[in-house]
Chains A and B, each alone.
Chain A
Amino acid sequence: MTARALTSARLAKAQPNDEEAARLAYIASARAAARRRLLLPLGAILLILALWEVGVAYFHVRPFIAPAPSAVASVLYHKFGLLMSNLGPTAVEALIGFAFGNLLAILTATVFVHQRIAEEAFFPIAVMVHTIPVMAYAPILVLLLGNGLSAKVAIAAMICYFPTLVNMTRGLRAVSPQQMELMHILSASPAEIFFKLRLQCALPYLFSALKIAAATSVIGAIVGEWIGATTGIGALIIQATYNFDSPLLYATIVVGSVFSAAFFGVISWAEGRVLRWNVAETR
Chain B
Amino acid sequence: MSAPATGVALRLKDVTVRFATERGAVTALDRVSLSIRSGGFLTLVGPSGCGKSTLLRVISDLIPPTSGEIEVLGETPARARAARQIGFVFQDASLLPWRTALQNVALPLEVGGRSRRASRDPRELISLVGLVGWEGAYPHELSGGMRQRVAIARALVDDPKLLLMDEPFGALDEITRDRLNVELLRIWERTGATIVFVTHSIYEAALLGQEVLLMATSPGRVRELVSVPLANPRAIEQRETPEFVEIAAHLRRVLETCG
What is the CA–CA distance of A196 and B90 in the complex, to the nearest angstrom?
19
Query: Is the CB–CB distance between A181 and B62 below 8 Å?
Result: yes
Query: Is the CB–CB distance between B107 and A187 below 8 Å?
Result: no
Given the known inter-chain contacts A1-B143, A1-B145, A279-B140, please indicate yes or no for A183 contacting B133, CB distance below 8 A. Answer: no
Nearest A residue to B87, CB-CB: A185
Is A15 part of the contact surface with B, judged by Cβ < 8 Å?
no
Query: Is the CB–CB distance between B88 and A185 below 8 Å?
Result: yes
Is A178 part of the contact surface with B, judged by Cβ < 8 Å?
yes
What is the CA–CA distance of A275 and B99 in the complex, to the nearest angstrom?
11
- A176-217 contacts to B (CB < 8 Å): 176, 178-179, 181-189, 192, 196-197, 200, 203
Is A59 part of the contact surface with B, judged by Cβ < 8 Å?
no
Which A residues are in CB contact (< 8 Å) with B57?
Answer: 181
- A148-202 contacts to B (CB < 8 Å): 176, 178-179, 181-189, 192, 196-197, 200
Is A9 part of the contact surface with B, judged by Cβ < 8 Å?
yes
Q: Is the interface of A mostly helix, strand, loop or mixed?
A: helix
- Least distance between A186 CB and chain B CB atoms (Å): 5
Query: Is the CB–CB distance between B60 and A2 below 8 Å?
Result: no
What is the CA–CA distance of A54 and B143 in the complex, to the nearest angstrom?
57
What is the CA–CA distance of A184 and B139 in the complex, to the nearest angstrom?
21
Contact of B111 among A9, A179, A183, A281 (CB under 8 A): A183
Query: Is the CB–CB distance between A196 and B131 below 8 Å?
Result: no
Interface residues on B, range: 35 or more
What is the CA–CA distance of A107 and B180 in the complex, to the nearest angstrom?
44
How many chain A residues touch B (CB < 8 A): the figure is 29
Query: Is the CB–CB distance between B96 and A200 below 8 Å?
Result: yes
What is the CA–CA distance of A117 and B99 in the complex, to the nearest angstrom?
33
Query: Is the CB–CB distance between B110 and A187 below 8 Å?
Result: no
- B56-105 contacts to A (CB < 8 Å): 57, 60-62, 81-82, 84, 86, 88, 90-92, 94, 96-99
Query: Is the CB–CB distance between A178 and B112 below 8 Å?
Result: no
Is A21 part of the contact surface with B, judged by Cβ < 8 Å?
no
- Least distance between A127 CB and chain B CB atoms (Å): 29
Query: Is the CB–CB distance between B146 and A2 below 8 Å?
Result: yes
Is B176 part of the contact surface with A, judged by Cβ < 8 Å?
yes
Nearest A residue to B114, CB-CB: A187
Which B residues are in CB contact (< 8 Å) with A1?
Answer: 143-146, 176
Given the known inter-chain contacts A1-B145, A2-B131, please indicate yes or no for A185 contacting B86, CB distance below 8 A. Answer: yes
Contact of B92 among A178, A185, A278 (CB under 8 A): A178
Which B residues are in CB contact (< 8 Å) with A197?
Answer: 96
Nearest A residue to B90, CB-CB: A178
What is the CA–CA distance of A132 and B82 in the complex, to the nearest angstrom?
51
Given the known inter-chain contacts A178-B90, A277-B140, please indicate yes or no for A2 contacting B112, CB distance below 8 A. Answer: no
Which B residues are in CB contact (< 8 Å) with A144?
Answer: none
Is A280 part of the contact surface with B, judged by Cβ < 8 Å?
yes
- A218-260 contacts to B (CB < 8 Å): none
Query: Is the CB–CB distance between B94 and A178 below 8 Å?
Result: yes
- B168-225 contacts to A (CB < 8 Å): 176
Is B229 part of the contact surface with A, judged by Cβ < 8 Å?
no
Contact of A277 among B84, B97, B112 (CB under 8 A): B97
Query: Is the CB–CB distance between B81 and A185 below 8 Å?
Result: yes
Which A residues are in CB contact (< 8 Å) with B82?
Answer: 187
Nearest A residue to B173, CB-CB: A1
What is the CA–CA distance of A112 and B96 in the complex, to the nearest angstrom?
23
Query: Is the CB–CB distance between A182 and B94 below 8 Å?
Result: yes
18 A-B contact pairs sorted by A residue (CB < 8 Å): A1-B145, A2-B131, A2-B145, A2-B149, A9-B133, A176-B92, A176-B94, A179-B94, A185-B86, A186-B111, A188-B112, A192-B111, A196-B107, A196-B110, A277-B98, A278-B97, A278-B98, A279-B140
